[in-house]
Structure 1
Amino acid sequence: MELKVGDKIPNFRAKDTNGNDFDSQEIIGQKPLVIYFYPKDNTPGCTVQACSFRDQYEDFKDLGAEVIGISSDSVVSHQKFTQQYKLPFILLSDSDKKIRKLFGVPSGLFGILPGRVTYVADKAGTIIMVFDSMMAKRHIPKALEAIRELKQ
């Protein structure tokens, strides 16, 4: 079942870019979140998306939000991806696709590719925006706009 606006971000755990344990309970309730699911490290669309989030990361931080990227790539793949493109935000390894299933992220491109969906949640962990599009670059302005609206 897909998460939608008004739903709470579920609790989940994963390994972050540094191989450390990440627990969503430690960040939900602390700050607004932008959680984006993407198909694969080092592919053209995913690189454009990650670099766009990187380039706007300070804008998200200035608004008090954290950005988290999630794919089924390994921790080692995430480390290389982060180093190559100097990504300042958290990447989580969802190798068993449990988090993707928890959020109900649909597959894209006729079910061939893992979907590309961005969720924005307020400080309490309530989802205020869901953007599902394979158009990688469109996610960043949509997420930033949703975070800005929280601050008004």
Structure 2
Amino acid sequence: MAAPQIGLGDQAPDFTLPTQSGTEVTLSDFRDKKTVVLFFYPKDETAGCTAEVCSFRDNYEVFTEAGAEVIGISSDSVSSHERFAGRYSLPFTLVSDEGGEIRKRYGVPSKLGILPGRVTYVIDRSGVVRHVFNSMVNINGHVKGALKIVQELQA
């Protein structure tokens, strides 16, 4: 059973997961250094997810200029992420949450009980969640909403 969904003002659960390059990333390593845009998405190589990662890719420079790091997370394997990131020239990290443990810790809901949900979190430099956007279909809302909060946090 999933935990209650992490919300505004909550401390973001820490994790260490493998990336598409086979290295590991730990969320708390960004503490006091960068805002983190953490987006959970259902599956590599699906139409909606490809649109979402390409939108984050196309805005990546704006995120980094505002002091943020972008991390995508799904339950796909490291090798699937490696192919997906290569195919779409993704400049940010994809992490593999095989088994969905981190998804459960964040309380990211499933759609129709089977399809992993699509939720974006903006986590400030102290590890506190400052923005949550949950929509399977409003792909642009994930990027636009996160960018607005990241720029406000930088100001």
Query: Do both proteins adopt the same fold according to a TM-score greater than 0.5, normalized to the shorter chain?
Result: yes
Cα deviation, residue 137, structure 1? 2.5
| Counterpart residue number, 2:28 | 25
Q: Percent identity?
A: 49
| Counterpart residue number, 2:115 | 113
Which stretches of structure 1, 4 residues or more, deviate above 4 A after TM superposition? none
| Counterpart residue number, 1:89 | 92
Query: Amino acid of the residue matched to residue 123 of structure 1?
Result: R
1:40-79 map, 5 Å? 40-79=43-82
CA distance in 2, matches of 1:100, 1:29: 24
Root mean square deviation, CA, Å: 0.9
| Counterpart residue number, 2:147 | 144
CA deviation vs aligned residue, 1:101-129 (integer Å, no higher than 9, x gap)? 11110112x22210000000111111010
CA distance in 2, matches of 1:49, 1:68: 12
Query: Amino acid of the residue matched to residue 70 of structure 1?
Result: I
CA distance in 2, matches of 1:138, 1:111: 23
Query: Amino acid of the residue matched to residue 78 of structure 1?
Result: H
Structure 1 regions of 5+ residues with no counterpart? none
With structure 1 as the length reference, what TM-score do the two structures score? 0.96
Answer yes or no: is the 8 Å Cα contact 2:34–2:67 preserved in 1.
Answer: yes
Q: 1:14 aligns with which of 17, 20, 23?
A: 17
| Pair 1:4 & 2:7 matched | yes
Cα deviation, residue 147, structure 1? 0.6
Answer yes or no: is the 8 Å Cα contact 2:67–2:154 preserved in 1.
Answer: no
CA distance in 1, matches of 2:40, 2:32: 21
